[in-house]
Amino acid sequence: MYNKSRVNLLAFSSRHRTILDSLCIFLSPVKGTSMNCLKNGPDNQTKVDSGIIHSHHSSSSQSQRENNTDSGSSTSHAIARDLDGNHMEDTSCAIEVDIDTTYPHDAWEERYSKQFPEARHVKQKSLVNGPEPQGNVIRFVCMSDTHGRIERVDFCKRVPHGDVLLHAGDFTMYSELNEYVAFNDFLAKLPHKVKLAIPGNHEIALDPRGFNSYHTKLRRALGSTVAESELSLQDLIKETKSLVSEARILIDEMVEICGIKIYGLPWLPQYGLHGFGLSRGKLLLNRYNNCPAGIDILLSHGPPLGFGDFTLRRKHVGCVELLNSVTKRIKPKYVVSGHIHEGYGIQTDGKTTYINCATCNKDYRPSQDPIVFDYVLPDPYTREDLELLSNHDLQVTKPWKEFGSQDR
Protein backbone atom coordinates (compact mmCIF):
# COMPACT_ATOMS: atom_id res chain seq x y z
CA MET A 1 0.00 0.00 0.00
CA TYR A 2 1.47 3.33 -1.06
CA ASN A 3 1.79 6.02 1.54
CA LYS A 4 0.92 9.63 0.78
CA SER A 5 4.47 10.79 0.18
CA ARG A 6 5.02 7.99 -2.31
CA VAL A 7 1.89 8.85 -4.25
CA ASN A 8 2.92 12.50 -4.34
CA LEU A 9 6.35 11.55 -5.63
CA LEU A 10 4.89 9.49 -8.43
CA ALA A 11 2.77 12.45 -9.44
CA PHE A 12 5.86 14.50 -10.29
CA SER A 13 6.87 14.43 -13.92
CA SER A 14 10.52 14.16 -14.84
CA ARG A 15 10.55 17.86 -15.70
CA HIS A 16 9.14 18.82 -12.31
CA ARG A 17 11.73 16.74 -10.47
CA THR A 18 14.52 18.33 -12.50
CA ILE A 19 13.28 21.82 -11.63
CA LEU A 20 13.04 20.87 -7.96
CA ASP A 21 16.61 19.54 -7.99
CA SER A 22 17.81 22.81 -9.51
CA LEU A 23 16.03 24.87 -6.88
CA CYS A 24 17.65 22.85 -4.10
CA ILE A 25 21.04 24.10 -5.24
CA PHE A 26 20.20 27.72 -4.45
CA LEU A 27 18.36 27.28 -1.16
CA SER A 28 19.91 26.91 2.26
CA PRO A 29 18.74 25.46 5.57
CA VAL A 30 17.07 27.77 8.03
CA LYS A 31 18.28 27.68 11.58
CA GLY A 32 15.60 26.22 13.78
CA THR A 33 14.17 23.93 11.09
CA SER A 34 12.80 20.71 12.52
CA MET A 35 15.55 18.13 12.68
CA ASN A 36 13.11 15.53 11.36
CA CYS A 37 13.80 16.81 7.85
CA LEU A 38 17.52 16.12 8.07
CA LYS A 39 17.36 12.33 8.07
CA ASN A 40 15.21 9.57 6.64
CA GLY A 41 14.55 10.48 3.88
CA PRO A 42 34.46 -11.87 -10.23
CA ASP A 43 34.63 -12.54 -6.33
CA ASN A 44 36.22 -10.16 -3.90
CA GLN A 45 39.64 -11.46 -2.90
CA THR A 46 39.19 -10.41 0.69
CA LYS A 47 39.51 -12.85 3.54
CA VAL A 48 37.40 -12.21 6.61
CA ASP A 49 38.90 -13.76 9.72
CA SER A 50 37.02 -13.04 12.95
CA GLY A 51 35.94 -9.76 11.44
CA ILE A 52 39.52 -8.48 10.91
CA ILE A 53 40.33 -7.80 7.27
CA HIS A 54 43.48 -9.25 5.74
CA SER A 55 44.83 -7.69 2.55
CA HIS A 56 46.19 -10.26 -0.02
CA HIS A 57 6.11 -3.80 -5.23
CA SER A 58 3.72 -5.90 -6.48
CA SER A 59 3.37 -6.81 -10.17
CA SER A 60 0.62 -4.24 -10.65
CA SER A 61 3.04 -1.42 -9.88
CA GLN A 62 5.91 -2.76 -11.99
CA SER A 63 5.10 -0.74 -15.11
CA GLN A 64 4.65 2.36 -12.99
CA ARG A 65 8.15 1.91 -11.58
CA GLU A 66 9.60 1.40 -15.04
CA ASN A 67 8.00 4.61 -16.23
CA ASN A 68 9.37 6.43 -13.20
CA THR A 69 12.88 5.14 -13.83
CA ASP A 70 12.79 5.92 -17.53
CA SER A 71 11.48 9.45 -17.13
CA GLY A 72 13.20 10.51 -13.94
CA SER A 73 16.57 8.79 -14.09
CA SER A 74 17.53 7.28 -17.41
CA THR A 75 19.50 4.07 -17.29
CA SER A 76 23.20 4.87 -17.04
CA HIS A 77 26.06 2.42 -17.41
CA ALA A 78 29.01 3.09 -15.15
CA ILE A 79 31.86 5.12 -16.59
CA ALA A 80 34.02 3.63 -13.88
CA ARG A 81 37.67 4.25 -13.11
CA ASP A 82 40.54 2.22 -11.75
CA LEU A 83 43.09 3.39 -9.20
CA ASP A 84 45.10 5.14 -11.92
CA GLY A 85 42.08 7.20 -12.93
CA ASN A 86 41.67 5.38 -16.24
CA HIS A 87 38.29 4.44 -17.67
CA MET A 88 37.36 0.82 -17.06
CA GLU A 89 35.84 -0.57 -20.24
CA ASP A 90 34.88 -3.93 -18.75
CA THR A 91 31.09 -3.94 -19.10
CA SER A 92 30.78 -6.75 -16.56
CA CYS A 93 31.09 -4.13 -13.81
CA ALA A 94 28.66 -1.67 -15.40
CA ILE A 95 26.15 -0.34 -12.87
CA GLU A 96 22.70 0.78 -13.94
CA VAL A 97 20.09 2.89 -12.21
CA ASP A 98 17.84 0.48 -10.37
CA ILE A 99 14.17 0.34 -11.30
CA ASP A 100 13.31 0.88 -7.61
CA THR A 101 15.86 3.60 -6.97
CA THR A 102 13.22 5.91 -5.44
CA TYR A 103 11.69 3.06 -3.39
CA PRO A 104 14.67 1.68 -1.47
CA HIS A 105 12.66 -0.21 1.16
CA ASP A 106 10.70 -2.08 -1.49
CA ALA A 107 13.90 -2.79 -3.39
CA TRP A 108 15.46 -4.35 -0.29
CA GLU A 109 12.45 -6.34 0.86
CA GLU A 110 11.48 -7.69 -2.54
CA ARG A 111 14.86 -8.34 -4.16
CA TYR A 112 18.11 -7.29 -2.54
CA SER A 113 17.68 -8.98 0.84
CA LYS A 114 17.62 -12.31 -1.01
CA GLN A 115 20.94 -11.53 -2.69
CA PHE A 116 22.82 -11.40 0.62
CA PRO A 117 22.19 -14.70 2.41
CA GLU A 118 25.36 -14.24 4.49
CA ALA A 119 24.36 -10.78 5.75
CA ARG A 120 24.51 -10.60 9.53
CA HIS A 121 25.28 -8.28 12.41
CA VAL A 122 28.79 -8.31 13.85
CA LYS A 123 29.95 -7.62 17.40
CA GLN A 124 32.55 -4.96 18.06
CA LYS A 125 34.96 -7.37 19.76
CA SER A 126 35.29 -9.44 16.58
CA LEU A 127 36.85 -6.49 14.73
CA VAL A 128 39.86 -6.09 17.02
CA ASN A 129 42.49 -8.49 18.30
CA GLY A 130 42.79 -7.08 21.80
CA PRO A 131 42.56 -3.94 23.93
CA GLU A 132 45.65 -2.67 22.11
CA PRO A 133 46.73 -3.46 18.53
CA GLN A 134 48.52 -6.80 18.39
CA GLY A 135 50.84 -7.73 15.56
CA ASN A 136 51.24 -5.97 12.25
CA VAL A 137 47.92 -4.11 12.21
CA ILE A 138 46.68 -0.54 12.02
CA ARG A 139 43.79 0.46 14.28
CA PHE A 140 40.97 2.64 12.95
CA VAL A 141 38.54 4.49 15.23
CA CYS A 142 35.26 5.50 13.57
CA MET A 143 32.83 8.28 14.47
CA SER A 144 30.09 10.17 12.67
CA ASP A 145 27.17 12.54 13.21
CA THR A 146 28.55 14.27 16.27
CA HIS A 147 26.63 17.48 15.40
CA GLY A 148 28.63 19.73 17.72
CA ARG A 149 27.38 17.81 20.76
CA ILE A 150 30.64 16.15 21.79
CA GLU A 151 32.40 19.48 22.28
CA ARG A 152 30.00 20.33 25.12
CA VAL A 153 30.85 17.24 27.16
CA ASP A 154 34.06 15.49 28.11
CA PHE A 155 33.69 13.09 25.20
CA CYS A 156 37.42 12.69 24.56
CA LYS A 157 37.64 10.07 27.29
CA ARG A 158 35.14 7.94 25.39
CA VAL A 159 37.18 7.91 22.18
CA PRO A 160 39.35 4.76 22.06
CA HIS A 161 43.01 5.09 21.26
CA GLY A 162 44.08 4.08 17.78
CA ASP A 163 46.22 5.04 14.83
CA VAL A 164 43.68 6.65 12.49
CA LEU A 165 40.46 8.48 13.34
CA LEU A 166 37.73 8.39 10.70
CA HIS A 167 34.79 10.79 10.88
CA ALA A 168 31.97 10.11 8.40
CA GLY A 169 30.43 13.59 8.41
CA ASP A 170 27.88 15.82 10.14
CA PHE A 171 30.34 17.22 12.66
CA THR A 172 28.30 20.44 12.74
CA MET A 173 24.61 21.24 13.10
CA TYR A 174 24.25 24.50 11.15
CA SER A 175 27.63 24.63 9.36
CA GLU A 176 28.56 27.84 11.16
CA LEU A 177 32.20 28.85 11.41
CA ASN A 178 32.33 28.58 15.20
CA GLU A 179 31.23 24.94 14.89
CA TYR A 180 34.19 24.14 12.64
CA VAL A 181 36.53 25.78 15.15
CA ALA A 182 34.99 23.84 18.04
CA PHE A 183 35.31 20.57 16.13
CA ASN A 184 38.96 21.33 15.43
CA ASP A 185 39.58 22.03 19.12
CA PHE A 186 38.03 18.66 19.95
CA LEU A 187 40.23 16.86 17.43
CA ALA A 188 43.33 18.55 18.84
CA LYS A 189 42.74 16.77 22.14
CA LEU A 190 42.84 13.32 20.53
CA PRO A 191 46.14 11.42 20.20
CA HIS A 192 45.50 9.70 16.86
CA LYS A 193 48.34 10.29 14.41
CA VAL A 194 46.04 10.67 11.40
CA LYS A 195 42.52 12.12 11.38
CA LEU A 196 40.33 11.96 8.29
CA ALA A 197 36.84 13.39 7.84
CA ILE A 198 34.26 13.95 5.15
CA PRO A 199 31.40 16.45 5.13
CA GLY A 200 27.83 15.38 5.72
CA ASN A 201 24.59 17.01 4.66
CA HIS A 202 24.92 19.46 7.59
CA GLU A 203 28.26 20.80 6.29
CA ILE A 204 26.60 22.93 3.63
CA ALA A 205 29.51 25.40 3.66
CA LEU A 206 31.68 22.73 2.03
CA ASP A 207 29.25 21.82 -0.76
CA PRO A 208 31.12 22.66 -3.98
CA ARG A 209 27.95 23.49 -5.94
CA GLY A 210 27.29 26.63 -3.96
CA PHE A 211 24.21 27.78 -2.04
CA ASN A 212 23.89 31.47 -2.87
CA SER A 213 22.31 32.93 0.26
CA TYR A 214 24.34 30.70 2.56
CA HIS A 215 27.70 31.45 0.99
CA THR A 216 26.90 35.16 0.88
CA LYS A 217 26.58 35.01 4.66
CA LEU A 218 29.82 33.04 4.84
CA ARG A 219 31.65 35.64 2.75
CA ARG A 220 30.62 38.30 5.23
CA ALA A 221 31.72 36.17 8.17
CA LEU A 222 35.16 35.70 6.63
CA GLY A 223 35.37 39.29 5.45
CA SER A 224 37.42 40.37 8.43
CA THR A 225 40.34 38.20 7.31
CA VAL A 226 39.91 37.99 3.55
CA ALA A 227 38.68 40.64 1.13
CA GLU A 228 35.03 39.76 0.56
CA SER A 229 35.14 40.59 -3.15
CA GLU A 230 38.03 38.18 -3.69
CA LEU A 231 36.32 35.14 -2.21
CA SER A 232 35.19 32.74 -4.92
CA LEU A 233 33.18 29.65 -4.03
CA GLN A 234 36.32 27.52 -4.00
CA ASP A 235 38.01 30.14 -1.81
CA LEU A 236 35.15 29.86 0.66
CA ILE A 237 35.44 26.10 0.79
CA LYS A 238 39.21 26.29 1.20
CA GLU A 239 38.94 28.87 3.98
CA THR A 240 36.28 26.82 5.78
CA LYS A 241 38.27 23.59 5.48
CA SER A 242 41.31 25.38 6.89
CA LEU A 243 39.41 25.87 10.15
CA VAL A 244 39.69 22.10 10.68
CA SER A 245 43.47 21.93 10.50
CA GLU A 246 43.61 18.86 12.77
CA ALA A 247 42.05 16.63 10.09
CA ARG A 248 42.20 16.09 6.35
CA ILE A 249 38.74 16.65 4.92
CA LEU A 250 38.11 14.52 1.84
CA ILE A 251 35.56 15.53 -0.80
CA ASP A 252 35.66 13.00 -3.66
CA GLU A 253 39.31 12.41 -2.77
CA MET A 254 41.55 9.51 -1.81
CA VAL A 255 44.49 9.08 0.52
CA GLU A 256 46.80 6.14 1.02
CA ILE A 257 48.05 5.18 4.47
CA CYS A 258 50.67 2.44 4.56
CA GLY A 259 49.28 0.93 1.38
CA ILE A 260 45.65 1.18 2.54
CA LYS A 261 43.52 3.27 0.17
CA ILE A 262 40.71 5.37 1.67
CA TYR A 263 38.18 7.31 -0.41
CA GLY A 264 35.94 10.08 0.93
CA LEU A 265 32.41 10.22 -0.51
CA PRO A 266 30.06 12.84 1.01
CA TRP A 267 27.21 12.57 -1.55
CA LEU A 268 23.91 11.01 -0.52
CA PRO A 269 20.22 10.96 -1.51
CA GLN A 270 18.59 14.38 -1.32
CA TYR A 271 16.34 14.96 1.67
CA GLY A 272 15.47 18.51 2.54
CA LEU A 273 17.48 21.53 1.48
CA HIS A 274 20.92 20.54 2.72
CA GLY A 275 24.43 19.93 1.49
CA PHE A 276 25.72 17.16 -0.77
CA GLY A 277 22.24 15.86 -1.58
CA LEU A 278 21.42 14.57 -5.05
CA SER A 279 18.40 12.87 -6.57
CA ARG A 280 18.48 9.10 -6.32
CA GLY A 281 19.48 7.48 -9.56
CA LYS A 282 21.71 8.87 -12.28
CA LEU A 283 23.11 11.93 -10.46
CA LEU A 284 24.27 9.90 -7.47
CA LEU A 285 25.55 7.09 -9.67
CA ASN A 286 27.70 9.60 -11.56
CA ARG A 287 29.33 10.58 -8.27
CA TYR A 288 29.85 6.97 -7.19
CA ASN A 289 31.50 6.24 -10.54
CA ASN A 290 34.27 8.68 -9.61
CA CYS A 291 35.30 6.33 -6.81
CA PRO A 292 37.87 3.91 -8.22
CA ALA A 293 37.57 0.17 -7.90
CA GLY A 294 40.06 -1.50 -5.62
CA ILE A 295 40.04 0.88 -2.67
CA ASP A 296 40.17 -0.63 0.81
CA ILE A 297 37.96 1.69 2.89
CA LEU A 298 35.04 3.74 1.61
CA LEU A 299 34.21 6.64 3.92
CA SER A 300 30.64 7.58 2.94
CA HIS A 301 28.26 9.83 4.83
CA GLY A 302 25.16 7.97 3.67
CA PRO A 303 24.87 4.18 4.04
CA PRO A 304 24.19 1.79 1.18
CA LEU A 305 20.84 0.06 0.99
CA GLY A 306 20.32 -2.66 3.59
CA PHE A 307 23.34 -1.95 5.78
CA GLY A 308 23.06 0.62 8.58
CA ASP A 309 20.04 2.27 6.96
CA PHE A 310 17.03 0.95 8.94
CA THR A 311 15.03 3.75 10.55
CA LEU A 312 12.65 3.87 13.49
CA ARG A 313 9.84 3.89 10.96
CA ARG A 314 11.01 0.40 10.04
CA LYS A 315 12.10 1.44 6.58
CA HIS A 316 15.34 0.90 4.69
CA VAL A 317 16.38 4.27 3.27
CA GLY A 318 19.91 3.61 2.01
CA CYS A 319 21.00 4.13 -1.58
CA VAL A 320 20.49 1.30 -4.08
CA GLU A 321 23.11 2.62 -6.48
CA LEU A 322 25.66 2.86 -3.68
CA LEU A 323 25.01 -0.76 -2.70
CA ASN A 324 25.44 -1.92 -6.29
CA SER A 325 28.57 0.18 -6.75
CA VAL A 326 30.08 -1.22 -3.54
CA THR A 327 29.25 -4.88 -4.12
CA LYS A 328 29.72 -5.12 -7.89
CA ARG A 329 32.50 -2.68 -8.74
CA ILE A 330 34.33 -0.87 -5.92
CA LYS A 331 34.47 -3.89 -3.57
CA PRO A 332 36.08 -2.25 -0.53
CA LYS A 333 36.90 -4.21 2.59
CA TYR A 334 35.08 -1.67 4.76
CA VAL A 335 32.31 0.87 4.27
CA VAL A 336 32.23 3.43 7.10
CA SER A 337 29.12 5.62 7.16
CA GLY A 338 26.62 7.41 9.38
CA HIS A 339 23.68 9.75 8.60
CA ILE A 340 20.99 7.35 9.85
CA HIS A 341 21.41 7.66 13.61
CA GLU A 342 19.20 4.63 14.31
CA GLY A 343 21.29 2.51 11.94
CA TYR A 344 24.28 2.48 14.31
CA GLY A 345 26.09 -0.85 14.36
CA ILE A 346 28.20 -3.31 12.37
CA GLN A 347 27.12 -5.70 9.62
CA THR A 348 28.79 -7.85 6.99
CA ASP A 349 27.66 -9.39 3.73
CA GLY A 350 30.41 -12.00 3.93
CA LYS A 351 32.88 -9.93 1.91
CA THR A 352 32.55 -6.30 3.00
CA THR A 353 32.12 -5.04 6.56
CA TYR A 354 29.65 -2.15 6.94
CA ILE A 355 30.00 0.21 9.90
CA ASN A 356 27.43 2.85 10.80
CA CYS A 357 29.26 4.83 13.46
CA ALA A 358 26.72 7.61 14.12
CA THR A 359 27.63 9.04 17.53
CA CYS A 360 24.35 10.86 18.20
CA ASN A 361 21.15 8.91 18.67
CA LYS A 362 17.79 9.89 17.18
CA ASP A 363 17.46 12.62 19.83
CA TYR A 364 20.85 14.09 18.91
CA ARG A 365 22.48 12.93 22.13
CA PRO A 366 26.05 11.55 21.84
CA SER A 367 25.17 8.20 23.40
CA GLN A 368 26.67 5.81 20.82
CA ASP A 369 30.33 4.87 21.21
CA PRO A 370 32.95 5.05 18.45
CA ILE A 371 33.51 1.79 16.59
CA VAL A 372 37.01 0.34 16.24
CA PHE A 373 38.53 -2.12 13.78
CA ASP A 374 42.01 -3.51 13.13
CA TYR A 375 43.34 -3.82 9.59
CA VAL A 376 46.33 -6.02 8.80
CA LEU A 377 49.03 -3.94 7.13
CA PRO A 378 49.91 -5.08 3.60
CA ASP A 379 53.53 -5.96 2.81
CA PRO A 380 56.02 -4.40 3.13
CA TYR A 381 54.53 -2.02 5.73
CA THR A 382 54.96 -2.49 9.48
CA ARG A 383 53.82 -0.65 12.57
CA GLU A 384 57.13 1.19 12.54
CA ASP A 385 55.89 2.99 9.43
CA LEU A 386 52.93 4.28 11.44
CA GLU A 387 55.28 6.28 13.64
CA LEU A 388 56.16 8.42 10.62
CA LEU A 389 52.55 9.27 9.81
CA SER A 390 50.92 12.67 10.15
CA ASN A 391 48.02 14.50 8.55
CA HIS A 392 50.32 16.95 6.81
CA ASP A 393 52.39 14.24 5.11
CA LEU A 394 49.42 12.56 3.45
CA GLN A 395 49.14 12.87 -0.31
CA VAL A 396 45.56 13.48 -1.39
CA THR A 397 44.55 12.25 -4.82
CA LYS A 398 42.23 14.69 -6.56
CA PRO A 399 38.98 13.34 -8.03
CA TRP A 400 38.68 12.55 -11.71
CA LYS A 401 36.34 15.49 -12.35
CA GLU A 402 36.20 18.98 -10.94
CA PHE A 403 33.51 19.67 -8.35
CA GLY A 404 30.03 20.38 -9.59
CA SER A 405 30.74 19.58 -13.24
CA GLN A 406 27.96 17.06 -13.62
CA ASP A 407 25.24 17.99 -11.17
CA ARG A 408 23.99 21.37 -12.35
Report pLDDT for 344.
99
Rounded Cα distance, 91 and 77, in Å: 8
Q: How many CB atoms lie within 10 A of CB 337?
A: 32
What single string gives the DSSP state of each residue in 4-39? HHHHHHHHS-HHHHHHHHHHHHH--PPTT--GGGSS
Q: Which of 144, 206, 146, 153 is nearest to 177 (CA)?
A: 206
How far apart are alpha carbons 408 and 401 in whole angstroms? Answer: 14
Specify the pLDDT at position 32.
36
pLDDT score for 397: 87
Instruction: Look up the pTM and report it.
Output: 0.78
- From edge to edge, which strands make up the β-sheet containing 47-49? 47-49, 52-54, 371-376, 137-143, 164-167, 194-197, 248-249
Say what the pLDDT of residue 232 is: 80
Count of CA atoms in the C-beta half-sphere (13 A) of 260: 28
Q: Which fold has domain 4-29+46-397?
A: Purple Acid Phosphatase; chain A, domain 2 (3.60.21)
Per DSSP, 384 falls in state H
Cα 229 to its chain centre, rounded Å, is: 33
Sort strands 164-167 and 137-143 into parallel, antiparallel or unpaired. Answer: parallel
Which residue positions in the chain have pLDDT lower than 70?
Answer: 1-93, 211-214, 223-231, 399-408
Quote the pLDDT of residue 49: 38
Domain borders along the chain are: 4-29+46-397
Could you tell me if 162 and 130 are in contact, meaning their C-beta atoms sit under 8 angstroms apart?
no
